[in-house]
Amino acid sequence: MTEKIVCLGKFTSNAILDLDALSRHFGLRNIFVKDESYRFGLNAFKMLGGAYVVGKYLANKLGMDISEVSFEYLYSKEVKGKIGEIIFVVATDSNHSREAAWAAKQLGQKAVVYAPRGSSLTRLNNIRKEGAKASIIDEDYEGAVKLSEEMAKKNN
């Protein structure tokens, strides 16, 4: 099967795969597959959720809509001077927490992740590689959510 890879976007390594041989086999003009498995180098297809939440929160702190700000602007010294340091608290051991940790790091902020008991150590270490302080607690998911809420309120 012949594949043509076209990279899209400045901050992504998303690719559109043109599956020529497969499209010919089925008598179709083209078959394209969007490969998001390596988005931002995280090997996760659903990367944008956590990054969007981080960006939206920062935009709101600035009194702006997320559609009015760029990634570069949110990373700027001007923004850092206006909002200071923020620590994002996330409860889960999924890709969502990893992407939130990645976005926080990229935007000069910090993240803390509380994962429920039984969480994968591999995932936890991947979250830590994104700069987050991450730990597995002796609670279920609801306990991790509750702890995250408590820590966020306690630390403003």
- In this prediction, residue 68 carries a pLDDT of 86
- CA gap 129, 118 in Å, rounded: 20
Residues recognised as catalytic: 46, 93
Overall average pLDDT of the 91-114 stretch: 87
CA nearest neighbour of 142 among 114, 120, 122, 123:
114
Structural domains in the chain, sorted by start: 3-35 (no CATH), 48-154 (3.40.50.1100)
Asked whether the whole model's pTM tops 0.95, one would answer: no
Q: For residue 63, which phi and psi values (nearest 5 degrees)?
A: 75, 30
Residue of 78, 66, 68, 151 whose CA lies nearest to 110: 151
Model confidence pLDDT, tens digit, residues 26-62: 898 888 877 665 555 555 555 567 777 888 889 999 9
Instruction: Pick the more confident residue, 102 or 41.
Output: 102
pLDDT at residue 31, rounded to an integer: 83
Whether the Cβ atoms of residue 45 and residue 102 lie closer than 8 Å to each other: no
